[in-house]
Chain A
Amino acid sequence: MIEHTPIILLVTPLLAALIVSIISLVSKTKSIQKIITFISLCLPFFYLSILFQELSGGVIEYSIGGWTKPYAITLVIDELSFALILITSIVTFFCFIYSTKCMKENSGKFYFFFLIMVMGLYGIFLSGDIFNIYVFFELTVISSYILITFGDERASLKASIKYLIIGSIASLFFLFGVGLLYAETGLLDIEQLSKNIHLIDSQTQIIIFTLFLGAVGIKAAIIPFHTWLVDAHSTAPSPVSAVLSGITVKTGVYIFIRVFSLGFTLQNLNEIIMVLGAITAFGGVIGALIEWDIKRIIAYHTISQIGFIVVGIGAFSTMGIAGGIYHIVNHAIFKGLLFLCAGSIIYTTGTRDIREHGIGKTMPVTLITYIIAVLAISGVTPFNGSVSKSLIESSVLNYPIIWLILIFTSIGTVASFSKILYYSFMKVPKKYKSQQKYQEAPFSMQLPMIVLALLCILLGILPGLWLDNLILPATSSLVAGNSNIHITLIKPLYVLKEWIIVLFGIILLKVIITRSRDIDKLRELISKFKLNISLFLMIVTLVIVSIILGALN
């Protein structure tokens, strides 16, 4: 029975979803649905502990149907997918606990689609076949189109249809790339493809890479392809936003790592990816600095942190890829925490505009966990963001311009979150002074925030827990380099750099508060981008990248 664990991991959310939907058709009690969902989200932790024992003996492979290697659909678990499945189960479990209080009406349908999305996420990280990734990705993304419409009605429908159109184009580009790969090599298995790609001539390799870049760029929200993300993640309900921003956007990056390590033999691929990542990081922060809606600000920060991850992976050295993968894990934790904090603020005050919040000290748990999340995302020392950000920044020291852009991005990050801290928590608007009746959020909403904040601190103090066991072996199987990185807790030079960044961030905040007219004009300008123009820009970017690659090869 133990060797069937990968498929049991995949089937458990599906069976739980079916049982929940039958019960919601037959009877009206909600507690049985919650208990079944709870059990089915706890069981993966047991399976993962079994899998961790087996993983020390090498890569786990499981073929469906018992067929042999070139014809089979296989499920493959190596250290990279194990790390991502672990963080998926943690984040979805806590977001489910949060949602028991937050989504009261039509909860049967909500749990059904949530469990289907969880099954799709497990399937993406488990599959060893490039077409299987497409199937599970469609499963995830269809259930996320539906889950987004559970938020407030009018805006979420518009966001969902925009996401649907752009996401379908991404999937079709991905499929076309897979079709070209199959027409050239005749293989669909990721391991065997990675040995055979260098046999394709370089013109076709450029077309295949451009198509995959388009697909991955749309899914992972790199800057010319990012226009769906802000609306979709801000109008969704809060636990759904946390899972979407934490995990679903990262599946694009995961597919990118798998495809990128397929061994394309093109020149100067690293520089193009790093430039795209740096533009993404910077553009995301600029977008965040000019908004006043709390969930849109956090959604723009998702774009900029994805830029960090793409820069780290594009550097293609041991420190870069280790930093990138560790930042995926960290970002899932603190972005989930930020969305849950924003959700509890919106639950209490009822508005999303931060100039009308003025909570003050009436919500202490939210305040403390929010401050921990902000310090983690800015990269201050004892928290987990600092480890991954320092790794990424040390891997681009050969390219000083990109290093400077990353430093400016960190300054902007600090400024933007301090803005939320100032307006939402500290400054009390004048008309609300007599209505200070805000209470703390209910306990089942506080518990996930507290646990995620403790995880932030734990992964910052003991980075070796994830790094040595999971991420460095994954890196050494992708990149041939030396894999002895020694991470100590406090390095004086890095601590100095972080506190300089925090200082400049607060100065930038002062500048922003005094100049809000120009900022409003900039926001009007950006909101004029319609769907047609953004799609046209995506195609133009892909054509330019392919022309540049063609000229360099």
Chain B
Amino acid sequence: MTSRIVRTVARVLIPFIFLFGVYIIIYGHISPGGGFQGGVILAMGVILIFVVYGGEKMQKYVPHLSIIEILGVAFFVFIGILGIVSGRQFFSNLGTIWILNIIIASKVFAGLVILYLLLLRGELAK
């Protein structure tokens, strides 16, 4: 996938894809969208880069993305426990839904990118 047309169009489109993804994440609680949807759009932007320009150089970042994923879940549960500590039930509404959206978006982004990189690793090893 390295013809000149594809590379030029991808280079033009990718900043807009990132901007759109961030917009959907941040406006998730009052308009259609949210954490999961915005995270998928961001991941699609990054995977477009991998498809057009090749993904061998990014293979060494897989453990870092795994740590982002695990810390994401831990932070999510921590916000839930914050609800218990402040006297109300687990996951009660303390005005923190936008934080949850951002955490989920980062987690979905990391997950999908790891998936693509690992499947690519199997292809490159042949």
Q: Which residues of A contact B (CB under 8 A)?
A: 4, 7, 11, 14-15, 18, 21-22, 25, 62-66
Contacts and interface: CB of A to CB of B under 8 A. Distances in A.
A22 B89 contact: no
Given A4-B84, A25-B66, A65 B73 contact: no
Contact of B89 (A11, A15, A65): A65
A7 B92 CA distance: 13
Contact of A62 (B70, B81, B89): B89
Contact of B70 (A4, A21, A66): A21
23 contacts: A4-B84, A4-B89, A4-B90, A7-B80, A7-B90, A11-B80, A14-B77, A18-B70, A18-B73, A18-B74, A21-B66, A21-B70, A22-B67, A25-B63, A25-B66, A25-B67, A62-B89, A64-B91, A65-B89, A65-B90, A65-B91, A66-B88, A66-B92
B1 to A, nearest CB: 30
A15 B84 CA distance: 16
Contacts of B89: 4, 62-66
Nearest to B73: A18
Given A11-B77, A15-B77, A22 B70 contact: yes
A103 B92 CA distance: 40
A40 to B, nearest CB: 14
B93 interface: yes
Interface in B55-75: 63, 66-67, 70, 73-74
Interface residues of B, number: 17
Main secondary structure of the interface of A (DSSP, over half): helix
A15 B91 contact: no
A14 B73 contact: yes
The 6 closest A-B CB pairs, nearest first, are A66-B89, A7-B90, A66-B92, A65-B91, A65-B92, A18-B74
B90 A64 contact: yes
Contacts, number: 38
Question: Which secondary structure dominates where chain B touches chain A?
Answer: helix
Contacts of B74: 15, 18
A7 B77 CA distance: 11
Contacts of A66: 88-89, 92
Nearest to A63: B89
A62 B89 CA distance: 8
Contacts of B83: 65
Contacts of A64: 89-91
A220 B105 CA distance: 36
A466 B66 CA distance: 44
Interface in B67-121: 67, 70, 73-74, 77, 80-81, 83-84, 88-93
A358 B93 CA distance: 64
B124 to A, nearest CB: 22
Point out which of B67, B70, B83 has the most chain A C-beta atoms below 10 A from its C-beta: B70
Interface string B40-67: 0000000000000000000000010011
A65 to B, nearest CB: 5
Contacts of A15: 74, 77
Nearest to B63: A25
Contacts of B77: 11, 14-15
Nearest to B90: A7
A44 B94 CA distance: 29
Nearest to A1: B84
Contact of A65 (B67, B70, B81, B93): B93
Contacts of A18: 70, 73-74
Given A21-B66, A66-B89, 14 more contacts: A4-B84, A7-B84, A7-B90, A14-B77, A15-B74, A18-B70, A18-B74, A21-B70, A25-B63, A25-B66, A25-B67, A64-B89, A65-B90, A66-B88
Contacts of B63: 25
Nearest to B78: A15
A21 B70 CA distance: 8
A62 B67 CA distance: 32
Contacts of A11: 77, 80-81
Contacts of A4: 84, 89-90
A230 B12 CA distance: 54
B104 to A, nearest CB: 15
Contacts of A62: 89
A22 B80 CA distance: 20
A316 to B, nearest CB: 36
A4 B80 CA distance: 12
A522 to B, nearest CB: 41
Nearest to A7: B90
A68 to B, nearest CB: 12
A319 to B, nearest CB: 39
A388 B93 CA distance: 47
A25 B66 CA distance: 9
Contacts of A21: 66, 70
Contacts of B90: 4, 7, 64-65
Nearest to A3: B89
A256 to B, nearest CB: 29
- Interface hub of A22, A25, A63, A65 (most chain B Cβ within 10 A): A65
A62 B63 CA distance: 38
Nearest to B92: A66
A122 to B, nearest CB: 15
Nearest to A75: B90
Contacts of A7: 80, 84, 90
A64 B84 CA distance: 10
Contacts of A22: 67, 70
Contacts of B67: 22, 25
Contacts of B93: 65
A18 B69 CA distance: 10
Nearest to B88: A66
Nearest to B66: A25
A14 B81 CA distance: 13
A66 B87 CA distance: 11
B100 to A, nearest CB: 12
Contacts of A65: 83, 89-93
B114 to A, nearest CB: 12
